[in-house]
Amino acid sequence: MKKPLFRPIATTLICSVFLWATLCALVIGVIQAAYTYVHVQDEFETAVREIGQTNVPLLSVNIWDIEPEAIRRQIEVVAARQEIGFVRLTVTSGQVFVAGNNDLASRPGRQFEIPPPGRAGGAIGRLEIVENPHAFLSAVLHTVGLALLGYGVLTALICILITYLLKRELERPLRQLARFATELTPDRLTVPLELERGPGHGRDEIDLVVEGFSVLQTGINNHITNLDEQVTQRTAELESALASIRRLSTLDPLTGCFNRRYFNERIQEELERAERYRRTLSVIFCDIDHFKQINDNFGHLAGDRVLQEAAECFRRELRAHIDWVTRYGGEEFVVVLPETSLGAAVATAERLRLALTDCLATTLPDMTVTASFGVTQQQPGETPQSLLQRADSLLYEAKAGGRNRTLPELRGDRPV
Q: How far is CA 248 from CA 68, 257, 262, 330, in A?
A: 137, 10, 11, 18
CA distance 335 to 314: 9
CA distance 336 to 271: 10
CA distance 31 to 20: 17
Catalytic residue selected from 131, 309, 331, 382:
331
Query: Within 10 Å of residue 82's Cβ, how many Cβ atoms?
Result: 14
Residues paired with residue 100 on neighbouring β-strands, in sequence order? 86
Residues paired with residue 281 on neighbouring β-strands, in sequence order? 338
The amino acid at 333:
F
HSE on the CB side for 279, CA within 13 Å? 13
3-state secondary structure of 284: strand
Query: Within 10 Å of residue 65's Cβ, how many Cβ atoms?
Result: 10
CA distance 357 to 353: 7
Q: Tell me which residue of 326, 248, 352, 333 sits closest to 288, measured CA to CA.
A: 333
Rounded to 5 degrees, what are φ and ψ at 193? -90, 120
Q: Are the C-beta atoms of residues 335 and 327 closer than 8 Å to each other?
A: no
Q: Is 331 a catalytic residue?
A: yes
From the number of C-beta atoms within 10 Å of its C-beta (0-12, 13-18, 19+), residue 360 rates as buried
Please identify every residue annotated as catalytic.
Answer: 331
